[in-house]
Structure 1
Amino acid sequence: MQELTVSLNLPRDLLGVLDVPETNLSNRLRELIALELFREGLISSGKGGELVGKTKWDFIQLLARHNIPYFNETPEELVAEVANLEKLLDDKKK
């Protein structure tokens, strides 16, 4: 993955709000960006993990710690999706 370096001026008291030492600030900001991009549906959980240097599973756990749902479908949509998948499997067996 090609990287882009960005310079950003932030108020120093932001470190206190983020509860992170200055040496970890870039990692924390990368994490926050990945979480928000996932929340907006712009990246997958796999890409989120890649952005923060973790596995997909670790990223999913990070989502949970930030109360960001991994699935954004309603229960009805999930039931409909399972029914569609079952139908496809049944059709394939025939």
Structure 2
Amino acid sequence: MEKEKVTLSIPSEILPIVSKKTSEIPSRVFEYLILELYRLGEISSGKAAQYLDMERFEFVRFASRLGIPFIEMEKEEILEDYESAKTGKVVRVQDL
């Protein structure tokens, strides 16, 4: 994977929050960037995992622990799916 070097100006009081070790700051900022792109739906969980050198399932668990859901559904959608599962009703993709 080709990489570009980017210079970033960050207020000095934020740096200790990002990481205790200065050498870890670039990787932590990259991690935050990938997590945010995933949260916004700009990249898939598989692509995010690839960028962070993780297995897909490992990334999904990692993101979930940080409050970023794997599947983002409204309460009504969850209830509809639950009711469909109870009744055995199958929803086809073309019905959506």
Distance 1:31 1:20 in 2: 16
Q: Is the 8 A contact 2:19 2:25 kept in 1?
A: no
Q: Is the 8 A contact 1:27 1:52 kept in 2?
A: no
Q: Is the 8 A contact 2:15 2:25 kept in 1?
A: yes
Equivalent position amino acid for 1:62 in 2: F
The reply to whether residue 84 of structure 1 matches residue 91 of structure 2 is yes
1:92 aligned partner: none
1:91 aligned partner: none
Which runs of 5 or more structure 1 residues have no equivalent in the other structure? Answer: 86-94
2:10 aligned partner: 10
Q: By percentage of residues, which structure has more helix?
A: 1
Once the two structures are aligned, what percentage of the paired residues are identical? Answer: 27
C-alpha RMSD over aligned residues: 2.6
Equivalent position amino acid for 2:29 in 1: L
Per-residue CA deviation, residues 46-75 of structure 1 (Å, 9 max, x unaligned), is 111111121212211211121111101235
- Which runs of at least 4 in structure 1 moved beyond 6 Å after TM superposition? none
Distance 1:12 1:35, change over 3 A: same
TM-score by length of 1: 0.75
1:63 aligned partner: 63
The reply to whether residue 73 of structure 1 matches residue 73 of structure 2 is yes
**Aligned pairs, number:** 87
Which runs of 5 or more structure 2 residues have no equivalent in the other structure? Answer: none
Q: Is the 8 A contact 2:45 2:56 kept in 1?
A: yes
Matches within 5 A, 1:14-29: 14-29=14-29
